Amino acid sequence: MPATYVKDGTWEKDLRRQLKRDHGAGWGLFPQSKGTKLTRRYQDGSKQSVMLSITWSAGNATAIANEVAVLIARMKEHDISLKEAHNRANQVGGIVTADGVKAGTIDWSAISESFLLTRSDRRGTTLRDTSNRVANAVTLLTAAKRRPRDGRELMEQYAATFFDRCPAAGNGRKRHLGDVAAFLTYAIDKAGVPGLWQPLEGDERQVLIGTADDVDSSLTPPVKPEQLAALLDALEADGKPELHLAVALIGCFGLRPAELAALEVDDGCLKVGSQVKRNRRSMKSAKPPRLALPLELDGRTDGAKALALYSGGLVKLPLAIRTAIISGEFKKVGDAFRQLMDRYPFWQSMVAATPGLTPYSLRHGWAWRAHKGYDNPLSVRDAAALMGHTPATHHRHYGQWTDEQGLKDAVARITQASAALSTTSAKF
């Protein structure tokens, strides 16, 4: 209920009467300096007070009443004291805004800045991605139209707005919604926003992430053996030994493109540093480099040749990649490799022929050969160890690949073996 504003000072009495009527006895409001003092007297005789950054004046009576109402609501919902409720607002630059701004509104931009400070120890690329996701959420929360009214609506709108290029059931959607959920939880626990902003959890969030049944058509395709052979031959014919080396290392050893910055040769074997996929905190417990072994194409030794060239320094990696390595940022190394590939005409023709193909498909091609390219495939555990991730991650990313030719080849292998066995048995 708004206060009555008159020139004889009775607005102050009306404001105090409204305070008692709406929130009970024990509350007091007084002018102080350039703000307003709010006091709370408890039944045991103790008292707390806080300063509201709203000038004590008849024109601000409604703003004062609204800010007090939000503070008291926060106290009740979170079972905290007046000072704690006020401190939570101050932690984010003021959830309840003051002069010149509608009182009682939530300052999502201030909360996001405070939240991101708690993530400042993350790796640069991780912090950047989190910042982008939180900025996306704030854009929705501050939109002029269709502004979400609670945590459920925010997460549903986020999924509908930003998941067009994010495959169902993938880690991308999980990371997006995970960061949004962490942001909302922080806003409730640390900034005191109402509990209706609680994020979706469990099965309700999984509905937005999607299931594996939805993703078959959106899996990034692998570079097949014949494609890798043609690509390596084209690079050699075009006189691009440095890019040829990078492609051979990634494609034959199953590396992440960024791992070109973390290679070493130990006793004739290629080793890959573990720091590429880790954040700053986990860097403190360094893991030993993993072994990387080539899966050679039929009748070729591209991996062994690339290892010899790299080990002996006979051929260097492309200048753009070496420059990115010097920067110390693994993301720049992967970006440099992608840019070189995107500019190469033969790769462009491969992408045109196989929609969805990316430079990362070279690593996927190693996984494809590990399980489908040879008569005796690698186990999931061994392949995962050589690629530098867990068996669960390996199965999630590579356990659903199939196409018509792959099915035909699989059936042909078992039927030919069966026919050969039948022929042998007939002789006896």
Q: Looking at per-residue confidence, does 315 or 212 come out higher?
A: 315
Q: Is the pLDDT of residue 53 over 90?
A: no
Question: What pLDDT digit, counting tens, does each position of 109-165 carry?
Answer: 988 998 999 998 888 888 999 999 999 999 999 998 889 989 999 999 999 999 987
Do the Cβ atoms of 50 and 80 come closer than 8 Å? no
| Averaged pLDDT, 15-35 | 89
Provide the Cα torsion 104, 107, 108, 109; round to 10°.
170
Token duo for residue 295: 């899966």
Domain spans in the chain, listed from the N-terminal domain onward:
10-91, 108-217, 225-369
pLDDT value at residue 5: 39
Task: Pick the most confident of 186-195, 314-323, 328-337.
Answer: 314-323
Cα 142 to chain centroid distance, Å, stands at 22
Longest dimension (CA), the chain: 119
In eight-state DSSP terms, residue 374 is: S
Question: What pLDDT digit, counting tens, does each position of 234-261 carry?
Answer: 999 999 999 999 999 999 999 999 999 9
Beta strands in 17-134 (DSSP E): 27-32, 35-41, 47-52
Which residues are 348's β-sheet partners? none
pLDDT value at residue 167: 75
pLDDT value at residue 94: 42
**pLDDT category, 308, cuts 50, 70, 90?**
very high
pLDDT value at residue 352: 95
**pLDDT category, 2, cuts 50, 70, 90?**
very low
pLDDT value at residue 75: 83
Do the Cβ atoms of 335 and 196 come closer than 8 Å? no
Q: What percent of the chain lies above the pLDDT cut of 70? A: 83
pLDDT value at residue 207: 85
Q: Which of 34-43, 148-157, 209-218 comes out lowest in average pLDDT?
A: 209-218
Place of tokens 């979170």: 78
Cα dihedral sign, 121-123-125-130: negative
pLDDT value at residue 417: 56
| Averaged pLDDT, 385-404 | 77
Q: What angle do CA 46, 50, 51 make, to 5 degrees?
A: 150
Beta strands in 172-302 (DSSP E): 263-266, 269-272, 290-292
Do the Cβ atoms of 362 and 247 come closer than 8 Å? yes
Q: Is the pLDDT of residue 96 over 60?
A: no
Q: Which of 208-217, 266-275, 327-336 comes out lowest in average pLDDT?
A: 208-217
Tell me the pLDDT of the chain averaged across its residues: 84
Phi, then psi, of 100 in degrees rounded to 5:
85, -5
Q: Looking at per-residue confidence, does 404 or 140 come out higher?
A: 140
